[in-house]
Amino acid sequence: MKGPLLLLSALAFATGIVVGAKLSRTWLALTLMGTITALSAALCVLLGAVDWEWRSVFLIGGEPLHFRLDGVSALFLVLLSVIGGAGAFYSRGYWSDHNHLASAPRGRVWWSALLLSMGLVLLSSNGMHFLFAWELFTISAYFLVTLDRKRPKVCAAGWLYLVASHAGTVCLFAFFALLATRTGSWDLGPMREYSGLASLFWLVLVGFGVKAGVFPLHIWVPATYATAPSHVAALVSGVEMGVYGIVRFSGWLPVPESAGWVVIGLGTLGALLGIAFALAQNDFKRLLAYCSVENVGVIMIGLGFALLARSYNDAAWGRLALAGALLHIWNHGAFKALLFFGAGAVSHATGTQEMSRLGGLWHKMPWTAGIFALGSVAVSGLPPLNGFVSEWMIYLGLFDVSLSKSPSAWAAILAAIILATAGALSLASFVKAGTLIFLGAPRTKSAVYARECGIWMRGPMLVLAVVCLGLGLAPIWFWPAIARAVGTWNPAWTTSVPPAPLRTLGLVHFGLAVLLVAAGILLWRKVRANGLRRSLTWDCGYVAPTAKMQYTSGSFGGLAAGWFTWIMKPVLKLRRPRGHFPVESIRLERTPETVLERVFTPLGGIVMQLSMAARRLQHGRLQFYILYVVAGLVALGVLVLMGGKP
Amino acid sequence: MTTVLDIFLRLACWLLLAPLLPGIINKVKAWVAGRRGPPVLQLYYDLTRLWKKSVVMSALASPAFIMLPAVAWVAVIGAALLVPLGPAGASLSFRGDALLMLYLLALVRFCTAWAAMETGSAFEGMGAVREVSYAVLAEAAMIAALLSMSVHTGTISLVTMLAPSADAGSVLLAAGLFIVLLAENCRVPFDDPNTHLEVTMIHEVMVLDHSGPPLAVILHGASVKLLLFVILLVQAVLPIGAHSPQTAAALLLAGVLAVTIAVGLVESLMARLALRRVPLLLTTAFLLCLFALLSAWRAVVS
């Protein structure tokens, strides 16, 4: 049953690539069919007990085809289908043929290609085909990111994405090649008994870490997500393929002793600094991008403790941490896609991504405002929504570790404190984003003339909002799927009983949600009954407040972001008022991409200089080339004569 | 049936007793200053009066401006119901409820800050920023405190967690939690509930534009939050569980009264801090809780 479904799905996407440019309705139907069939296949695997595996004698690149859908890949396939389908609908309103005559057809073709290649990455169980699919995925994502290639900013961001991705892919080439030489075949699968493969984990961590946006390797994330069309950003950041790679191969391969510690270290660093950078941003899509860095950090914390638990043979807290991390992958996908859709609706309606140029949009865009607010609650990890459920499970794991009297207790204590701090900072960031965009008075004309997005964009947002609500209010329904993925990652941890009182939490969440809504409505009715009068905002009796007097993005983030200037190094442009009758003063503050500008750009400069130096060897004079050849031959001869093996 | 009755009794206890605390604090302040001061029941009178009043709302604000205070109120009551009341225990207790309590309080913060930004006033912006920013440090201190209690007792459920240790850790925890209590409830030296200077306020400035029933809900919610922190502090420090139910209840009441009076005394004897020093004091609270955690951990391991 699963095989035909997946085949049908692949055929639908492949047909979508062919017909997408011309026939937009057929393309939508095909994409919908492809995502629904893929979703059903993934659910069959997650809720059933058997994996799907398919081998063929048919060779591609000299290797037989080998596909496999197990708990871990099905977990990601579900996310891919939901966001992929929702994004296809969304793009019809957001990137319509009407507004983007040239790029919209191209976007449809590449969207199908992206879904197909991401699906192939998830299914491939052969190293070489995995690399093919991975490369196809990178390239189709590149063409989607640079759909609007007339803007130089978009091209620069796309270029950065391509370079960073390929730097990661180099590591993956090395990884798969070494894996193939050491095991003797390109076939992938559980191989935890080969202890010689442990050191390959570092290549996995760097190669997939670049794609996942693990903290110091996240350099391409902010610029790419900020300039990419929102549905693309939603898919690429919602379905973290880099995280898939790390989860997949840390489950299949043995890992070195220190892997857990390193992953925890990277996770805590990313969670704290990612969200601190998010708070300092002025562009709301950049803020969302940095928030992805934070959430990947949270997932890494959970995964790191799972790795640690596996090396200590201590199942209880490892299972909790892993289950929390895997559930957080779903949760993050749902609310991040929701927020990117909301952000796209705002930028679509106003033409700007600067929070300080917006304001008061709730009036014109009540649906988007409400859905964005819901997403903000979810991403801040607050009850009764889904973000809290997974963070709570990770916390429970951390608390259990800190009770365990092992050296890892120290790491758990530190991680729990950082997680709490990051949670409070993410609350600050999303209060900032939501309120600056939607509340108060419009700060510029573009905010005044905004219009609510159409049904094509609103529908997918509502679907994702329902997913967020469902995951928050009834987490126990989703537990079997998570348990299946946990069991796939480490068969010793297979269990059907949730390690945390998920059912109780779900009931509490449900009751709480009902009461919250009821209380809000009752108070509103009470106020209406008592009498409600509209008046000017109280500003200490000042009668002519203007929109410019409101708090801005810089003033909102300034206080807490000020504690992180040691790493952010904000660039300040200041012109103080001068003279007795000052006419102008300026204060501009910008948070640069510190890691990129201070670390990777200088590093790149050094590489360029070395390459330039090496280039002097190639000058076009034949005599010297002959000299090189002779020198090379002599050196080889000496090597052979010395008795060394050539 | 008994559970429902139990929950209602508890609810009544929280809802009816909470507004006493600000009254007692004000009485203590008046007493220290040599004034007669407002009656202890003043907040009850204010609440009933506000409940009947009509509302003036900023022209910029959305209906959420009215609804969010109610949402925050439910969240704070929910958090309160998770906190055990001495011998009576909690109405609902499960593994990890301590974290739910912490995050329900964060939900309160989210709602208050969001509602404050509704009006587009710069003052309320200031308040919202301070609230959400200082909370970063307060949250770190709270999680360290929860961890120390959890390490000390070996559980993650509030009912069993709140058993005090008999060493220096308990003193450190008390000091740390007391500072967090002052910060989270916007008391001196972090914030002055009586100030009339909007520029320096934190919590009060966020509710400048509220009036009528929503303001009543906010004031009542704030008093419940204060009671919650006071009860948490008392149970984390006083060995209540070791006594008979009657003594335990009396001890709890005496403890609550003592902490409330201490808050009043701090308020009378101290000036508020300059805003730039607030993070410093909160970091101190965090360090106190962290040292309490270390001491608890050492006691468990050795």
Q: How do residues A553-600 score in pLDDT, each as one tens digit?
A: 888 888 888 899 888 888 888 888 888 888 888 888 888 888 888 888
Q: For strands A532-535 and A586-590, give the pairing.
A: unpaired
A53, containing H or E segment: strand A52-60
| B142 contacts on A by Cβ (under 8 Å) | 420
Instruction: In whole angstroms, give the CA distance from residue A578 to residue A584.
Output: 8
Percent of chain A with pLDDT over 90: 71
- Residue range A111-130: mean pLDDT, rounded: 94
Residue A609, number of CB atoms within 10 A of its CB: 10
Among B47, B53, B147, the residue to mutate for chain A (most A Cβ within 10 A) = B147
Residue A316 or residue A241, greater confidence: A241
- On whether any CB of chain B is under 8 Å from the CB of A508, the answer is yes
Q: How far is CA A297 from the centre of its chain?
A: 10
pLDDT at B1: 66
Least-confidence region, from A41-45, A311-315, A339-343: A311-315
Predicted confidence band of residue B166 (pLDDT cuts 50, 70, 90): low
Residue A243 or residue B237, greater confidence: A243
Could B114 and A434 be called an inter-chain contact, meaning their C-beta atoms sit closer than 8 Å? yes
Within 8 A by CB and 6+ apart from A589, the residues are A554, A558, A570, A571, A572, A573
Could A425 and B123 be called an inter-chain contact, meaning their C-beta atoms sit closer than 8 Å? no
- Residue range A227-256: mean pLDDT, rounded: 94
Tokens describing residue A257: 């002793």
A382, A504, A526: residue with CB nearest B106? A382
Instruction: In whole angstroms, give the CA distance from residue B232 to residue B90.
Output: 12
pLDDT at B275: 84
A520, A537, A559: residue with CB nearest B71? A520
Could A420 and B142 be called an inter-chain contact, meaning their C-beta atoms sit closer than 8 Å? yes
pLDDT at B91: 80
Instruction: In whole angstroms, give the CA distance from residue A482 to residue A475.
Output: 10
- Residue range B198-217: mean pLDDT, rounded: 85
| B300 contacts on A by Cβ (under 8 Å) | 405
Provide the angle, in degrees to the nearest 10, between the axes of the packed helices A71-94 and A315-350: 10
Predicted confidence band of residue A548 (pLDDT cuts 50, 70, 90): confident
pLDDT at A304: 95
Could A559 and B144 be called an inter-chain contact, meaning their C-beta atoms sit closer than 8 Å? no
Per residue in B57-99, pLDDT tens? 998 999 999 999 999 999 999 999 999 988 887 888 899 999 9
Could A555 and B59 be called an inter-chain contact, meaning their C-beta atoms sit closer than 8 Å? no
pLDDT at A642: 85
Could A537 and B102 be called an inter-chain contact, meaning their C-beta atoms sit closer than 8 Å? no
- Residue range B243-251: mean pLDDT, rounded: 88
Least-confidence region, from A251-260, A277-286, A576-585, B206-215: A576-585
Residues 386-425 of A with CB under 8 A from B: 388, 392, 395-396, 399-400, 402-403, 405, 409, 413, 416-417, 419-421, 423-425
A413, A439, A535: residue with CB nearest B293? A413
Predicted confidence band of residue A419 (pLDDT cuts 50, 70, 90): very high
Integer-rounded Cα Rg, in Å, for chain A is 26
Could A439 and B118 be called an inter-chain contact, meaning their C-beta atoms sit closer than 8 Å? yes
Whether the complex's predicted ipTM surpasses the cut of 0.90: yes
Supply the DSSP symbol for A186. Answer: S
pLDDT above 70 for B196: no
Per residue in A169-186, pLDDT tens? 999 999 999 999 998 889
| B99 contacts on A by Cβ (under 8 Å) | 392, 395-396
Residue of B nearest to A515 (CA): B74
Instruction: In whole angstroms, give the CA distance from residue B19 to residue B53.
Output: 19
Could B66 and A533 be called an inter-chain contact, meaning their C-beta atoms sit closer than 8 Å? no
Residue of A nearest to B147 (CA): A399
pLDDT at A395: 95
pLDDT at A432: 95
pLDDT above 60 for A646: no
